[in-house]
């Protein structure tokens, strides 16, 4: 399902997306030259740019956001990316233009339509899940002409239901947003305490929107469990960030 690259691995790739020709990667904690995204310049230093130069990902052109834990979409189709504003979802139809989202427990979601040649990346935490960010990303693709049945969805390393304990301030908004189905995404572990399965919540939303189950790829790699490979805000605090990057293949 995934392939690791380097010793220790600097990044992972999804074999299902590789077969479709999508250039992409999700970094590990061992990847050099990745900084917090913002609006003051590229979040990739020279080390990261050089490391991935041979992969077909031109990080000097990468589009990135100031992520705000919402469900807003920014379409980027300029020759070069750069800072795209405040949002949590990026969409492009431009071949060779890399999109990126940053995480440290939240989901990084890749949505790729190989037939229609469209790509979306989304950053989805519990707030984004409550706001149905995964469905917003899918809706942006379908508005542009994609069909849900043509889309392959890949979920990057993120905190799993084994480690993500939440309380009433999270469960309340979740219950109000999804009066049906939300109970299947949680497991009660004590008074006012639940384990939340963000994977199941977002997979359910994609399935409900028409993405076939065999086209949703999730290696179920928990960032909190695998501190040897990933950063985890819940486990370590704001120590570092992981980044997921993808770009549409160029013709020819």
Structure tokens, 5 = 């690259």
Residue 80 has pLDDT above 90, yes or no: no
**3-state class of 248 per DSSP?**
strand
* DSSP type of residue 188: E
The answer to whether residue 187 is domain-embedded is no
* Cα(239)–Cα(232) distance, integer angstroms: 8
**3-state class of 95 per DSSP?**
strand
What is the average pLDDT across 175-197?
95
Residue 252 has pLDDT above 80, yes or no: no
pLDDT of residue 92: 97
Residue 247 has pLDDT above 80, yes or no: yes
The answer to whether residue 59 is domain-embedded is yes
Q: How many CB atoms sit inside 10 A of residue 212's CB?
A: 14
Confidence band of 137 (pLDDT split at 50, 70, 90): very high
Range of the domain at 129: 2-159+198-247
How many independent structural domains does the chain possess?
A: 1
Report the CATH number at residue 73. Answer: 3.60.140.10
The answer to whether residue 133 is domain-embedded is yes
Residue 45 has pLDDT above 90, yes or no: no
pLDDT above 70: percentage of residues in the chain: 97
With b meaning 16 or more CB within 10 Å and e meaning fewer, what string describes 163-201? Answer: bbbbeeebbebbeeebeeebeebbeeeeeeebbbbbbeb
pLDDT of residue 51: 84
The answer to whether residue 184 is domain-embedded is no
Q: What is this structure's pTM? A: 0.96
The answer to whether residue 57 is domain-embedded is yes
The answer to whether residue 176 is domain-embedded is no
Q: What is the CA radius of gyration of the chain?
A: 17
- State pLDDT tens for residues 87-103: 999 999 999 999 999 99
Residue 41 has pLDDT above 70, yes or no: no
Q: What are phi and psi of 201, to 5 degrees?
A: -60, -45
- State pLDDT tens for residues 198-237: 999 999 999 999 999 999 999 999 999 999 999 999 988 8
pLDDT of residue 40: 60
């Amino acid at each position: 399902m995934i392939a690791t690259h380097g010793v220790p691995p600097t990044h992972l790739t999804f074999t299902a997306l590789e077969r479709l020709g999508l250039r992409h990667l999700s970094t590990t904690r061992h990847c050099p030259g990745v900084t917090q995204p913002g609006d003051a310049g590229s979040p990739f230093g020279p080390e990261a740019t050089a490391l991935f130069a041979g992969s077909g990902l031109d990080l000097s052109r990468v589009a990135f956001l100031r992520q705000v834990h919402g469900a807003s979409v920014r379409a980027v189709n300029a020759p070069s990316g750069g800072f795209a504003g405040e949002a949590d979802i990026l969409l492009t139809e431009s071949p060779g233009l890399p999109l990126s989202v940053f995480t440290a427990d939240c989901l990084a979601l890749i949505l790729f339509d190989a037939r229609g040649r469209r790509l979306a990346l989304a950053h989805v935490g519990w707030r984004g899940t409550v706001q149905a960010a995964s469905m917003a990303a899918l809706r942006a693709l379908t508005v542009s002409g994609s069909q849900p049945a043509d889309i392959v969805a890949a979920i990057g390393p993120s905190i799993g239901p084994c480690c993500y304990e939440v309380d009433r301030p999270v469960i309340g908004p979740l219950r109000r947003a999804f009066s049906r189905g939300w109970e299947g995404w949680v497991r009660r572990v004590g008074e006012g305490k639940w384990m939340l399965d963000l994977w199941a919540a977002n997979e359910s939303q994609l399935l409900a929107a028409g993405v076939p189950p065999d086209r949703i790829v999730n290696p179920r790699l928990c960032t909190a469990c695998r501190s040897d490979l990933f950063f985890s805000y819940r486990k370590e605090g704001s120590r570092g960030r992981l980044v997921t990057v993808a770009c549409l293949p160029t013709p020819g």
